[in-house]
Amino acid sequence: MTRHLFDGTGTLIRFILRRDRLRLPIWLLSFAAVSAIIALAFVGLYQNQEERQAMAETMRNPAMTAMVGPGYGLDNYTVGAMTAHEMLLMTAVVVGLMSILLVTRHTRTDEEEGRIEMIRSLPVGRLSNLLSILLVLTGANIVLALLTAFSLTALGIDSVDLEGSLIYGAALGATGMVFAGVAAVCAQLSPNARSTLGLSITVLLAAYMIRAIGDVTNETLSWFSPLGWILRSEAYVNNYWWPILLTMAGAVLLMALALYLNSIRDLGSGFLPSRAGKANASRSLLSPFGLVFRLQRTGLIAWAAGLLLIGASYGSVLGDLESFFEDIDLMQQMIVQAEGFSLTEQFIPVLMAVMAILGTIPVLLAVLKLKTEEKSDRLEHVVSRAVSRNHVMGSYLIMSVLTGFIMLSLAALGLGLVGNAMMDEQLSLGMYYGSAMAYLPAMLVMIGLAVVLLGWAPNLASAMWLYLAFSFFVIYLGGLFQFPEWVGKLTPFGYVSEIPIEEMNYLNAVMLTVVAVILTAIGFVGFNRRDIGR
């Protein structure tokens, strides 16, 4: 009986590879290419040991430890050590997100849309579908590890050797595997795809925050996060394999747990209990916006709590910045570039940019939910009533704008309240809030672009995630790589004033808002003209 649980697994693996024949290669090649480009950029930016050591000193402060992890190899900061130290964590987070999205797509999403039930009616085992996606993701992450390792080694950089590259690539692959296991477990716990995705991303964010707090305050805490494990591999410096093996062991345990839970779970159900609905619907559900808010409120609360905690975690290290650099003349000369502003004030725009782009994720999820409802044939039932398309689209638009406002507000409050509690010389909460709200017009442009795609080319709406990733890359790494100014202007976040070291540019804010309104109007026209479901 047991051997029939996995019947047809090979066929399903081929089916998954057929469905993701474009998606998987794009993901894998993108990671390998970005890793190679960054290593080459470091070679061009820091051409001698003195310049690299100066950069190493900036990485010793608590704020950078919270963002990219504890420093290693800082006494001899080679290009390899620099690449692994500054890029491994951020790349690993995106690799984890890739695994979460793919596992959710082939498990809970397929289950909701009836494909799993159809597959189960064929001669396949009960666990074949879950096992097949886990094997595909395991293979994909192994390919990612090797592809990244060989791409880095092929650059011919002295400090980027084969062993260190294999460690670096393996750390990325192991991260992808462990979060594939996380998503697989969440798919058994959650009652639907939306909850699966939300819970999995919550675990990913929690892993990042636990590691950040632990690396700054108590290293023991970092051992409760798989992201903390991979950073102990110290690629290109000490090249430890045991953190990779530990992460892979954790991934295997999570996958085994997911398979067990799947074997005892009824199709279409989840282990987390669903609350019984009210006997009578509330009056808020009589409007499209009430329905949209009801469907997305759980995700909104989870993301809001996450942004608040991220802001608080960054705020917890602000008090140590000035004391760290006060006796280092080199750092005072190199970092303090804006006369009249403290080091802390100059770090605030960097932190706000990161949190604003992270906050744009739930904003896009809110508006792109319309595509999910349409694909699942639920939107057609709504517009068949006495409800205009403008009313329906407007409800998702309002929800996304509201989400953006809440995300920025809570990120600013978390950073400001905790940061002021840690600093001797407190900064105005209004300054923190203004620095965050400066990003709202850029968020509105991102919403407008999403609405245009939903209106005219819904099948391309997922391209917004690539554009958001590009925005993060050029904004977060633009200063480090000394990109030309025009590169930053390719994203709306490049037009945002860096408060408090810059005055608020109201003209840019107004222009971004006008562009967002125009894009939104174009999207509404397309949505009213096209057929629903096409």
Written in H, E and C, the secondary structure of 455-474 is HHCHHHCCHHHHHHHHHHHH
Q: Is residue 276 part of a domain?
A: no
Contact 186, 109 (CB under 8 A): no
Residue range of the domain that includes 394: 284-534
| 229 shares its domain with 348 | no
Q: What is the pLDDT along the chain (534 residues), one digit of tens a residue?
A: 556 788 888 999 999 999 999 889 988 998 898 888 888 888 877 777 887 887 777 777 776 787 788 888 888 888 898 889 888 998 999 899 899 999 999 999 888 888 888 888 888 888 889 999 999 999 999 999 999 999 999 998 888 999 999 999 999 999 999 999 999 999 999 888 878 888 898 899 889 889 988 888 888 888 999 999 999 999 999 999 999 999 999 999 999 999 999 999 888 788 887 666 677 777 777 788 888 998 888 788 888 888 888 888 778 777 666 655 554 444 444 444 555 667 777 778 888 998 999 899 999 999 999 988 888 778 888 887 888 899 999 999 999 999 999 999 999 999 998 888 877 777 888 899 999 999 999 999 999 999 999 999 998 898 898 899 889 888 876 665 667 778 888 899 999 988 888 889 999 999 999 999 999 999 999 999 988 866
| 306 shares its domain with 250 | no
| 241 shares its domain with 329 | no
| 194 shares its domain with 294 | no
Q: Is residue 322 part of a domain?
A: yes
Tens digit of each residue's pLDDT (9 = 90 or more) over 250-261 = 999 999 999 999
Q: Is residue 56 part of a domain?
A: no
Provide the number of structural domains found in the chain. 2
H/E run at residue 86: helix 79-104
| 490 shares its domain with 460 | yes
What pTM value is reported for the model? Answer: 0.78
Segment 334-339 long-range contacts (CB within 8 Å, at least 24 positions apart): 334/54, 334/58, 335/58, 338/501
Q: Is residue 451 part of a domain?
A: yes
| 352 shares its domain with 394 | yes
Contact 300, 362 (CB under 8 A): yes
Segment 296-299 long-range contacts (CB within 8 Å, at least 24 positions apart): 296/365, 296/366, 296/369, 296/399, 296/403, 298/195, 298/198, 299/194, 299/198, 299/362, 299/365, 299/366
Alpha carbons 164 and 172: distance in angstroms, whole number: 13
Q: Is residue 82 part of a domain?
A: no
Alpha carbons 275 and 269: distance in angstroms, whole number: 13
